[in-house]
Every structure is written in structure tokens, then in C-alpha cells.
Amino acid sequence: MRTPGLQEAFQDRVEQHKKILYKVCGAYCRDRDSREDLAQEIMVQLWRSFEKFDGRCQFSTWMYRIALNVAISFYRSEGARKRHVFSDEQRLLEAVVEPERQPEEVHLLYEFIALLDPLNRALMLLYLDGNTYQEIAGIVGISETNVATKISRLKSKMKEELGTKKT
Amino acid sequence: MDLDVLKEKWAEQDRKLDASIRLNRQLLVAAKMNRLLWPLRRFSILTGIGVFTALIVLVILGRFIHTHWAEPRFALPAVSLHIWVIAYIAASIRQMAMALQIDYDKPIVLIQKQIESLRALRLRVIRWALLTGQLVWWIPFLVVALEGLWDVDAYKVLGVRFLSINVAMSLALIPAAIWISRKFADRAERSTAGQRLMRELAGYNLAAASGFLATLSEFEQESRN
């Protein structure tokens, strides 16, 4: 049963980890309205599952799993999706610093992430955020060895794709 | 261009993000969140209504078959409808059971497999329903409805020839529909719904779902290279 205390606890937790929402939406969607659409879908799933969150894992790990699962499904069904246009009051998430004013290196990273398939995007985001191979393996559902191999391949791919660009 | 160097820049940017992202807490209110859950519940509710309606149809058809068991010209069309409705109910229940198992809190590869398997099942059911539906819900339905509702023998009123030609045309329509949909699947640009229908008839969306399931299996496997 959802109590008022639960709502406030949910708001506080999400506020603490809003960066996860921002980064996942930025990695899986190009335009502002799609990012907002995805943010709201992630929020709904987080709310739906929040009652069951028992603290056995870190909240960030739990939030990443849900956010990435929703994002991958969203990305794969984008062609069939009804487009929404949001007014400023309807927006859940807004960056004061717009992507084009981000540091060049971060912009390049998002460019590289956009070249990846949805599964490797998840790996890349988790790695960039400083998660250990063990944590990444737990979120993604593959072995640690597999994570290490894939990250190594992503590093090589990055050198190939962006090697000529200068920072 | 070293990823580990860029990772440092990412971490620097990350430290500033809290101050530069605004979250609209007014949208994180339970009432608004619960309203947004409605589209997710809609699938279960609509499927439930569909199954309930189909069960009623099943009972009605069952009584008709029982009454006309000694008359194959009525019993056979009714049995074909009956089988179609049973298959529809079974497919719907299976979809609901699969949907209930999806918990976004679980590891990505596991959940994406479940989601894509559900999507593949749904696409198979839609394709099957579109291609066979016109076969059973035209002439067999007409024969059963005329006899069941108004005591009208369709074989006498419309003639065996008319009924046979229409059944043959319905059968021929199946490969024709697949051919047309493959030809025009990528051209129905004005209508997203039209394009989706074409792609589902042609099996393209099902092929995409199967492809992603294969991708997930490959992703899960450790490469020895």
C-alpha cells in the first residue's frame, strides 16, 4: 500500500540520483522531447517498483537496472511510438547546462555512445560512471570476464572511431 | 583518444551535474505517477476483456455445435470458429502470463529476453490472427450466424458455389496479403499504423524481434577471442 511517506521517500531518493536519469536519457535519445518521454517512462517504472525495493543492493544499482531496461525497450520501439511534445511545466528533467555547452570530451563520449548498439551503450554508461566490473556484471546479467572483454573491445573501438578527433 | 582519460573528464562533469540538473518534483506526486501507470495496465485490462468475450463466444459456439452435430455443413464451420477462438484465448493468456513475469528490476539481459520474447509472441499472434481471421470470420461465420440467429440456411440462400468460391478466395488471400505487405511495408509512410500493419503481415517486425533475441544470446556468451 502506498503511503504519503513512501511518496516523499521516493522523491528524495530520485532527487539524490537524478544524474542517472539524465545520463541514461541522454545516451538513448537524441532530441529533447524523446528524452523527456523516456524520463517519464523510467519514472513510472521506478515508482511501480519502489515499494519492493528492500535495500539489498545500492539504490543506484537498482535505479540503473530499471532505467537501462526501460531505455533499451524504449529505443527498440521508437519507430512505433506516438510522439509527445512537452511544455516546460510538463518536463520532469531539465538541464541548466545544455549538451552543446558541455565540455568537448563529454560531447565526444556521447557521440561515441550514440554509435553503439543499445546493450553496449548500457555497458559504456556503467563503466564511465565508475561501476566495478562486478557491479556492471550484476546490472547487465553477464559474467565479470565477459564485462572485461567487452570493455576492452569498446576501448579499441573508441580509438578507431574517434582517434582522429582532437580534444 | 583514450577512454580512461575521457573517463576522468566524464567524472569531472558528473560532479557538476547535480547543480546543473533540475528535477520537477511536482510531477513525482503519487496521483500523477499512478495515472501514468494506466497505459501499462491497459494491456492487461484489454486482454482480460478480450478473453472474457472470447469465452462467451466459445460457449455460444459450443451450444451451436452441440445442436448441429449431425449436420456437418453447419458443424464444420462452427468447429473451425471454435478452434480459432480457443487458440486466441490460449495466446492471450500466455501473453498475460509472460507480461506479469517482467520485472524491470532484474538484470538487463534477462529482462530484455523476456520483453523481446513477449514481443515476438504478440507479433506471431497478430500475424496469425490477420492472416487466418479473414478465413474463418467470413464464410464460416456467415453460415453459423445466419443459421444460429435467423434460422437461415446459407447454402440454400447463397448457394454452395458462392460459398465455395469465397472460401477459395479467402485461402488465396493469405499468400497475396503476405506478398502485398512485403512489397509495400516500407512505402506506407503516411500512416505509422498502416506501415506497422504491413510490416507485421510481412513478418519484418517478427524477424527483427528474433534478430534481437539472437543478439542478446551472443551478448551473453563469452568470446574466447
- Secondary structure E strands in A12-158: 93-95
pLDDT at A167 over 70: no
Residue of chain B nearest A15, judged by CA positions: B23
What pLDDT is recorded for position B42? 81
- Give how far A129 is from chain B: nearest CA, Å: 7
**CA angle A142-A134-A56, nearest 5°?**
100
Tell me if B21 and A130 make a contact (CB, 8 A cut-off). Answer: no
Contacts of B112 in chain A (CB under 8 A): 69, 72-73, 119
Segments of chain B with pLDDT less than 50: 225
| Structural contact between residues A10 and A47, judged by C-beta atoms closer than 8 angstroms | yes
B103-106 contacts: CB < 8 A, separation 24 or more? B103/A49, B104/A45, B104/A49, B104/A65, B104/A66, B104/A69, B104/A70, B105/A49, B105/A52, B105/A53, B105/A62, B105/A65, B105/A66, B106/A65, B106/A69, B106/A141
What pLDDT is recorded for position B18? 80
Indicate the residue of A10, A40, A69 with minimum beta-carbon distance to B108: A69
Tell me if B104 and A97 make a contact (CB, 8 A cut-off). Answer: no
ipTM: 0.88
Residue of chain B nearest A151, judged by CA positions: B3
What pLDDT is recorded for position B16? 84
C-alpha to C-alpha distance for B139 and B166, rounded to whole angstroms: 7
C-alpha to C-alpha distance for B216 and B116, rounded to whole angstroms: 10
Report which secondary-structure segment, H or E, holds B23. strand B21-23
| Structural contact between residues B42 and A139, judged by C-beta atoms closer than 8 angstroms | no
Distances (CA, A) of B150 to B35, B81, B138: 46, 18, 17
Report the largest interatomic distance among the alpha carbons of chain A, rounded to a whole angstrom.
56
Query: pLDDT tens-digit profile of A28-70?
Result: 998 888 888 899 889 989 988 998 898 888 999 999 999 999 9
The pTM for the full model equals 0.83
Minimum mean pLDDT range among A78-87, A144-153, B201-210? A78-87
- CB atoms < 10 A from the CB of B63, how many? 12
The terminus-to-terminus CA distance of chain B in angstroms comes to: 23
Query: pLDDT tens-digit profile of A97-120?
Result: 555 567 888 888 888 999 999 999
Beta-carbon contacts of B17 under 8 Å, excluding residues fewer than 6 positions away, are A19, A22, A23
Query: pLDDT tens-digit profile of B140-150?
Result: 999 999 999 99
Residue of chain A nearest B3, judged by CA positions: A155
